Structure 1
Amino acid sequence: MDVFPAENQVDGYDQALPAEETDKDDDDGGDLCRICRSPEGLNNPLRYPCACRGSIKYVHQECLRLWLNRRSDKQCEVCRHSYSFVPVYSENAPARLPCREFLRGVSLRALRFVAWAFAILFNAYCFSLHPWGRETAIENQRRYGVSEKLAAFLAGSMYNGMIAYHMTLMVLLRIPVGHLLEIVGENYIEHGVVVAGAAVALWKYMRILCDWWHNHLIRCRFFLALMFEPREEAVRPRNAKLDEFGAIRRFLFLLDDNTFAVLAISFYVSFFFVLLPFSMGKLVFAVLSLFQRMDVSVQLLSGDLLGQEPVIVGYMAMISLSLAYLASFVTLSRDSIQALAKRLSLGFLVVAVALPYLLWITSVKVWRNLSVVKDGFVLCLKFGVYPLVLGCWLDLSTFPILGTTVSRRLEIISEFPFAMIIHWLLGLICLLLVFNSVELIHKIILKRPFWFLLYDSDFNYRLTKLYLGQILFGLALHGSLMVILVHLPIMTISLISPSFFPLQLWIYDERILFGSMAAYKILWIIGAPQWLVELIKPAIEPIVVKWITTVSSWLQLSEFLLGNHEDQNVRPLLQQDLEIRDLQVESSLVGLYGSHSDTTFEDDIEDDRFMTLRIGLMCVLATLSLFLMSTISMALPILIGRAFFHSISFIGLKQDDLYGFWIGCYILREVYITTCFITDHIMTGRIDVLLSLVLLWIRNALLFTIWISVIPSLIGLLIILMIIIPLQVPLNQSPVYSSLQVWLISSVLFHIWTYLTMFTRIKYFATVAWREKPERIRNVGINRLPSMWLLRDVVYSIIRTLLATLVLPFLVTYSLFPSLGFSGAVNLAVQRLIWPVLLAIIILGFVAKLTIDLFVYIHRVEYDDRYLVGDRVTDFTEDLE
């Protein structure tokens, strides 16, 4: 029995790649593995898991597993056949789990669910202790008109999102400066700048939790879409050693790693951010209330503090204790308990008096560790202040889009200071995008345009060194790009059409606020940002390459910018002797323009002047091109989206420019693809193929018309009979409803069902036979399927099911019950209630099916956890059988 461990066998990216197929087969002509080129072993047989034949037919299971782990794909790259693996269980595995083991598995799943619910409620409770949390809950209660508990829960949900957001920021910060943070953290712990226990809690465990969160972030495509070429340290999984939590992890051994990490992060952040300051603030209030009558100064101090929030007073006490502890290392030769207690009490009671002294002592300590402080200052300037300035400038440039003003934005920032984090994040995203664009330009332009700057790829570049000229140049460059790409296009669009801005969004209407949030959530779930990134990224490089090569050819700069020059990325040595520099300049001019024997010194100077003018003209053309592209990309999709919403305004749907932007982008993409396709066929003379495709498009249009008109109308009629009439219309009144709105609701529900059935792994909204039909449409394509199969097995099957659901209750209510002699009131009640009863039966059956499937899934998971020892790849013949 061939068994391969079910766990991933590749740890990191240092595993060997499959051997190239350069080795020849053995002289005896035996079968060889197509990856390692080795014959079959005693305990390592050869398999043929796909439809490939010849020398690439056979493969070792371990080699195939290693190769699949590197490719992150389950298909053969040659024949595109999906590999199939069957589980292998131990020999003593029973047919099904005993009842005790099954109940144990159900209890563990329930316990993990309770742990997640506890983490969410614990964060909501901790946030309610903070003054900001109470203000947020009051604002939610006032705005949405909900109860106090629900408002507090909504505020806690926002707090959970803040925790995830800050964890993401820490992960992003660790990617470029992770090595430096490791050195600084180890130095701090070695020199005893902080308490040993606090250092371990704040550094070691937080690093582990950040590694766990990093492993989850790299599974999100949008996290990696910010970079054209994600670096290895950003995409490499990290080993989150949750076992280092020690006794806490052993005590919660029943929880899996994900549940334990969520609990640890929740308690970690809430304890240091809320619970510890809140407890210390309560302790300060208790101490001050005891000694309030002993001294006038203490009484005055207590009078000032008792009006504050416990959390704020706790923050003050934590700062005082930290500064007093720092002072004890400087002023005490030995750690005397009495002297330490004396300084702790001073820092605890007289914050205002001891603060200048402690600041002086701290400055002395900082002076002794000036290099660490300088590095921290430089990193704070580069990764803190610099992105924040760019984010604020970007926000200032986009004021007309949202229709806000400077005073309103300052008011929001004064009320919610943490909103500056959004500006910082926007600035960081701008930096990443510009950095990737500059890397792309460096690949095309072989001669560095700014030779006086050091880049992070240079050998002498240090991240912790302050390059003031580079920072100022980068700030001017990024500010100019924002003006060209954002500010000027917005001003131009506003001048051409003053009513274009501000954008009209659903979220501005408080009546549909929750519905708009759900709509935007659907836009995120279906992958609209990822779709836009995948649409733009492949088009950027060829457009930039074509533009640079074309403009360089027009301006006769191809040889200068795109030619092969040696040592072009080496920074000139400014300290070299003048004669050496003259020789270098002379040799470079010879390499660029030919021998000096053919030109004069005045001609060289004139050529340099013309070269500078041509480069300046190229920069002007680049500025105009960026401005035009940004203006068109900003205005054209929104205009098309608004035209689309205007064309369907008869259904009563309000316009939303965010959805209009995505619709406009999709329409532009389809128009571009169709135009290129038709032009290519006309130019190549394939008119007959084009006509057949036009007929195919007409067929698809007719099917689409039936799909969006007939089927949603039947579903809407069922919604009216099952839900709207029983809930809104009394028995003694005739039903009146808006068929257009019902059609719109039913159309949305029907297409959500179609998406869940066709593009997700959810199996609860269709039968096995029905799931095969969307899978066939997705795999084969609707254009390759016969028309009769689509009409008979897909469209007619849905219409037949809906008609049966409508007609059978109608026949029962209008034929059977009147013939049985019931009164008119009873018949009318049956006519109104038979469809709701049918809906209740369907829902109960659906819930029962879900429950059964849940128990079957838990049984399978527990069975695999206990008895699964590996898996085995199935051969192609076995898969066909």
Structure 2
Amino acid sequence: MDATEEDICRVCRSEGTQEKPLYHPCVCTGSIKFIHQECLLQWLQHSRKEYCELCKHRFAFTPIYSPDMPSRLPVQDIFAGLLTSIVTAIRYWFHYTMVAVAWLSVVPLTACKSHFCFQLLMTCLSVNLLTFKLEKQTSENILADCLQGCFVVTCTLCAFISLVWLREQIVHGGAPQWLEQNPPPLPAPGNQHEAANRRAEAEIDDDGGEDDDDDYDDDDDDDYDGEEDEGEEEEGREEEAADANNGGQAFCPYHIGHFSVVGLGIEDFVKASHFDGLVTTVLGYILLAGALVVCHTFASLVKFQRSRRLLGVCYIVVKVSLLVVMEIGLFPLICGWWLDICSLEMFDATLKDREQSFDSAPSTTMFLHWLVGMVYVFYFASFILLLREVLRPGVLWFLRNLNDPDFNPIQEMIHLPIYRHLRRFILSVVVFGSIVLLMLWLPIRIIKLLFTSFLPYNVMLYSDAPVSELSLELLLLQVVLPALLEQGHTRQWLKRLVHAWTFAAGYVFDLHSYLLGEHDDNENQPNIPPGHLNNNRVPGPGEGLHAAHQAILQQGGPVGFQPYHRPPNFPLKITLLVVFMCVTLLLASLICLTLPVCVGRWLMALWMGNTMVHELYTAASGLYVCWLCIRAATVLLSWMPQGRTVIMIKVHEWTLMIIKTVVVAVMLAGVIPLLLGLLFELVIVAPLRVPLDHTPLFYPWQDWALGVLHAKIIAAITLMGPQWWLKAVIEQVYANGIRNLDLHFIVRRLAAPVICVLLLSLCVPYTLSKGIAPLLGVQPEMQTLVERRIYPFLLMVVVLLAILSFQIQQFKRLYEHIKNDKYLVGQRLVNYERKMSRNSSSSFSSSS
């Protein structure tokens, strides 16, 4: 068979002709090598892609212009195209400007004035109308009104979205039983099968159409229509409840609480809290919830079904709002304050100091304590998740699994009664507070008793040392903490440590089966005959649901409740296990509070002498050194079983890798940040902060610390930007990693070009100001001005050149766009060649 007869199109499977020739536009070979241009264009229009989906090669097209196209476009065509582009840009600018003005000024001002009018109306209904302040509208407070209006609009939108989402939770997750107004009657035992058959027939008829309508009874049709109408009415009432609660959440709770505070005469106590608005709003929510409960009970007694449903939904909204505030706001705040109170002796502080700090800045103090409490709760939950990966499923049955896909806290807030939430809240406060006492307050007392000079920690905010606190903070945030947090070994170490402790405690107290299960033992043991349970706990009546609940508590572990061997004196051994756990936590806390700080103080003493340094830096540096030591020890222990020869080979490889890493670190983390920080100091900081009659002082340590920050920002922006040589090199270095570090590639492609550019940026202006300016015979004042302003001047020149280059590129694109619009008549597909010239890069893509 002839070879030309085998060339067929990959899409239409037909041969090429003179009118429709075949092309091979990509790297693909064989039966999918050739394709018609029309078939390819149709496929590209369908797939919305510009490259081959198999070989990822981008298709290229050669433009075909009209024969009468001049070599250069006429000036009038260029001006016409430029005018069209300017008009389009102005139209888009006007459109987006109007949108911005509407959303940033008109809507916020309208919301602000509406809120003001409502406040005025509510004040007229209260007793303090004469104390209400009316502000005259001036140009000075328009910005404040806009900001306040934006806040009001944001809160209103968030409240509306939350209410709609809560309504969806009620609709899809089911409402509480007390909210269901007409529960369906249960069928009689003898009619269950008949009812099921009728429901199946109804589903079949619904799918099949109207052919079998005669099989229905008229009563069934009426019941079905009644259920539809009832469902629509319920959805309408829920929407009305959501809309009503949207307005209620915006205004009612605060004013209800305000009237109650005024009526009870406790205004002074509320104002003493520094958060009178928040306290008044929460009190209004509580009173509103009580009023809704009373009204719902009354509506149930008089059998007002619609009102009962509406009041019930409103109560659920208020209840969920209060519970969310309690769980997310109040609980972390209590934990944060309790942590602060238990750690006062560690910082040589008193309750009086905390009271003064709260009086001076109440909002900041409360936010910091809330943030500390949130961090504490987060890490506690993370540790519980790690325990679930180690322990037998069912051990932690009393704790909720946050990673359980069936766990929905909003559904629990909707369905569970309020007293159960309060009981759970009190138990959580007791448990978390007891852990703080065990792992913070008691270790501090022991440290003060055994090591009298160790505490308090030095937490001064300022230092007169040459190494400033800013530099140390940047070093901590940019170097130490990322190195600690980006390592996955720490979690594995903690998991192995917990497993080892659990293994030892299980065999000491004969609780191995209860804590870890019997995975390995069951595989090697014969089957146990019936009736010989070996003291296994037999689930009693009604405990199957409890075992099923335990089955979903393990994250990533075995599914199903695992039975365990129950030894004699089981309650006593559980008590001893809890005591042993408390002692272990106490010792671990003592080590964590003393060892990293001691190591960090020793390192800082070697570096900075007797200068007092913030304990945050000593603890961070000590923790980093401890982490390095543990990492080295674990690596050596993993090499031990492989023999001396393998250990020497590994040591040689790691030594070479460490040397290469040090060289790369000196260039990328030492030289480049130093040059970058010094350049930033000369270009930005010194011209803005140092007058011409003063001599600027440079601190290399601070410049290096700021350079590290700037280098990370530049690297992040580069990785997020378009593809160019620096982005490709950085991605290649990241892909290689430390183990496959290519020193020659990094030096030649990354370090050398960047260092050369930075050195040129530093040296060329210095040479011009110190070498060429004196030769021109300028005055000393002018020479000083040139030396101090040449760096920002050259920066301005570079920026102008970049803008000019960008505008030239844009003009070239505009020129091509005008030419294509007026003279382009078609495109011809370009065949793929193994050695394509650079001129093919200017070919058109399929989108042009």
> Could you tell me the TM-score, scaled by structure 2's length?
0.51
Any idea what SS the aligned residue of 2:517 has?
coil
Aligned pair in 2 of structure 1 residues 707, 191: CA closer, same or farther (>3 Å)?
closer
Give 1:106-505 correspondences, 5 Å limit.
106-107=93-94, 179=169, 199-200=242-243, 202-203=245-246, 389-401=334-346, 403-410=348-355, 430=376, 434=380, 437-438=383-384, 440-441=386-387, 444-446=390-392, 448=394, 464-465=416-417, 466-467=419-420, 474-495=428-449, 496=451, 498-504=453-459
Aligned pair in 2 of structure 1 residues 771, 552: CA closer, same or farther (>3 Å)?
same
Q: Deviations over 1:535-557 (max 9, x none)?
A: 65454444323321232123322
Equivalent in the alignment of 1:747 = 704
Aligned pair in 2 of structure 1 residues 482, 769: CA closer, same or farther (>3 Å)?
same
Q: Does the alignment pair 1:669 with 2:712?
A: no
Alpha-carbon contact 1:637-1:665 (below 8 Å) kept: yes
Deviation at 1:558, TM superposition (A): 1.5
Give 1:9-24 correspondences, 5 Å limit.
none
Residue from 543, 547, 561 that aligns with 2:497: 543
Q: Does the alignment pair 1:773 with 2:717?
A: no
Q: Deviations over 1:262-282 (max 9, x none)?
A: xxxxxxx7x8999x99xx99x
> Could you tell me the TM-score, scaled by structure 1's length?
0.50
Code of the residue aligned with 2:440 in structure 1: it is: V
Alpha-carbon contact 2:108-2:148 (below 8 Å) kept: no
Any idea what SS the aligned residue of 1:626 has?
helix
Equivalent in the alignment of 2:796 = 843
* Distance (Å, rounded) in 2 between the aligned partners of 1:658 and 1:854: 50
Alpha-carbon contact 1:757-1:774 (below 8 Å) kept: no
Q: Deviations over 1:756-808 (max 9, x none)?
A: 343444678x9944444333322223664544444444444344334434544
Aligned pair in 2 of structure 1 residues 627, 429: CA closer, same or farther (>3 Å)?
same
Q: Does the alignment pair 1:101 with 2:88?
A: yes
Residue from 575, 588, 598 that aligns with 1:616: 575
Any idea what SS the aligned residue of 1:608 has?
coil
Alpha-carbon contact 2:506-2:512 (below 8 Å) kept: yes
Any idea what SS the aligned residue of 2:338 has?
helix
Any idea what SS the aligned residue of 2:665 has?
helix
* Distance (Å, rounded) in 1 between the aligned partners of 2:96 and 2:277: 39
- For the pair shown, which has the larger CA radius of gyration, 1 or 2? 2
Equivalent in the alignment of 1:67 = none
Alpha-carbon contact 2:344-2:350 (below 8 Å) kept: yes
Alpha-carbon contact 1:758-1:778 (below 8 Å) kept: no
* Distance (Å, rounded) in 1 between the aligned partners of 2:314 and 2:396: 35
Give 1:824-863 correspondences, 5 Å limit.
825-826=778-779, 829-830=782-783, 832-834=785-787, 836-846=789-799, 849=802
Q: Deviations over 1:377-411 (max 9, x none)?
A: 88887777666554443332233455543234345
Aligned pair in 2 of structure 1 residues 272, 619: CA closer, same or farther (>3 Å)?
same
Equivalent in the alignment of 2:592 = 633
Give 1:750-761 correspondences, 5 Å limit.
750-761=707-718
Q: Deviations over 1:576-623 (max 9, x none)?
A: 9xxxxxxxxxxxxxx977xxxxxxxxxx9xx633x4443333222211
Any idea what SS the aligned residue of 2:568 has?
helix
Alpha-carbon contact 2:166-2:317 (below 8 Å) kept: no
Alpha-carbon contact 2:675-2:707 (below 8 Å) kept: no
Deviation at 1:202, TM superposition (A): 4.3
Q: Deviations over 1:319-371 (max 9, x none)?
A: 79x98x989x989x99xxxxxxxxxxxxxxxxxxxxxxxxxxxxxx9999999
What residue ranges of structure 2 are gaps of 5+ in the alignment?
Answer: 1-9, 14-25, 29-52, 62-80, 117-138, 182-231, 260-273, 300-309, 520-532, 545-562, 814-831, 842-848
Code of the residue aligned with 2:459 in structure 1: it is: Q
* Distance (Å, rounded) in 2 between the aligned partners of 1:115 and 1:330: 42
Alpha-carbon contact 1:440-1:541 (below 8 Å) kept: yes
Equivalent in the alignment of 1:236 = none
* Distance (Å, rounded) in 1 between the aligned partners of 2:99 and 2:796: 27
Deviation at 1:833, TM superposition (A): 0.7
* Distance (Å, rounded) in 1 between the aligned partners of 2:153 and 2:835: 49
Equivalent in the alignment of 1:305 = none
Aligned pair in 2 of structure 1 residues 196, 386: CA closer, same or farther (>3 Å)?
same
Code of the residue aligned with 2:243 in structure 1: it is: V
Deviation at 1:637, TM superposition (A): 3.8
Q: Deviations over 1:203-230 (max 9, x none)?
A: 4999xxxxxxxxxxxxxxxxxxxxxxxx
Deviation at 1:483, TM superposition (A): 1.6
Code of the residue aligned with 1:698 in structure 2: it is: I
Alpha-carbon contact 1:387-1:425 (below 8 Å) kept: yes
Code of the residue aligned with 1:482 in structure 2: it is: V
Residue from 622, 638, 649 that aligns with 1:688: 649
Q: Deviations over 1:277-297 (max 9, x none)?
A: 9xx99xxxxxxxxxxxxxxxx
* Distance (Å, rounded) in 1 between the aligned partners of 2:483 and 2:575: 36
Give 1:689-728 correspondences, 5 Å limit.
689-705=650-666
Alpha-carbon contact 1:723-1:836 (below 8 Å) kept: no
Q: How many residues align?
A: 610
Deviation at 1:481, TM superposition (A): 1.7
Aligned pair in 2 of structure 1 residues 381, 550: CA closer, same or farther (>3 Å)?
same
Question: Equivalent pairs: percent with the same residue?
Answer: 17
Backbone CA RMSD of aligned residues: 7.3
* Distance (Å, rounded) in 2 between the aligned partners of 1:372 and 1:809: 66
What residue ranges of structure 1 are gaps of 5+ in the alignment?
Answer: 1-39, 44-48, 52-75, 89-94, 130-148, 207-268, 282-308, 335-364, 577-590, 594-603, 861-874
Aligned pair in 2 of structure 1 residues 177, 470: CA closer, same or farther (>3 Å)?
farther
Aligned pair in 2 of structure 1 residues 751, 398: CA closer, same or farther (>3 Å)?
same
Q: Deviations over 1:687-746 (max 9, x none)?
A: 134224313423432453455665566567656766787778888x8x86655x1x1233
Equivalent in the alignment of 2:266 = none
Aligned pair in 2 of structure 1 residues 636, 753: CA closer, same or farther (>3 Å)?
same
Code of the residue aligned with 1:691 in structure 2: it is: H
Equivalent in the alignment of 2:513 = 559
Aligned pair in 2 of structure 1 residues 720, 573: CA closer, same or farther (>3 Å)?
closer
Alpha-carbon contact 1:528-1:662 (below 8 Å) kept: no
Aligned pair in 2 of structure 1 residues 852, 556: CA closer, same or farther (>3 Å)?
farther
Deviation at 1:574, TM superposition (A): 8.7
Aligned pair in 2 of structure 1 residues 755, 87: CA closer, same or farther (>3 Å)?
farther
Deviation at 1:121, TM superposition (A): 9.5
* Distance (Å, rounded) in 2 between the aligned partners of 1:414 and 1:662: 31
Alpha-carbon contact 1:391-1:425 (below 8 Å) kept: yes
Aligned pair in 2 of structure 1 residues 87, 178: CA closer, same or farther (>3 Å)?
farther
Aligned pair in 2 of structure 1 residues 836, 691: CA closer, same or farther (>3 Å)?
same
Alpha-carbon contact 1:505-1:658 (below 8 Å) kept: no
Aligned pair in 2 of structure 1 residues 196, 159: CA closer, same or farther (>3 Å)?
closer
Deviation at 1:200, TM superposition (A): 1.1
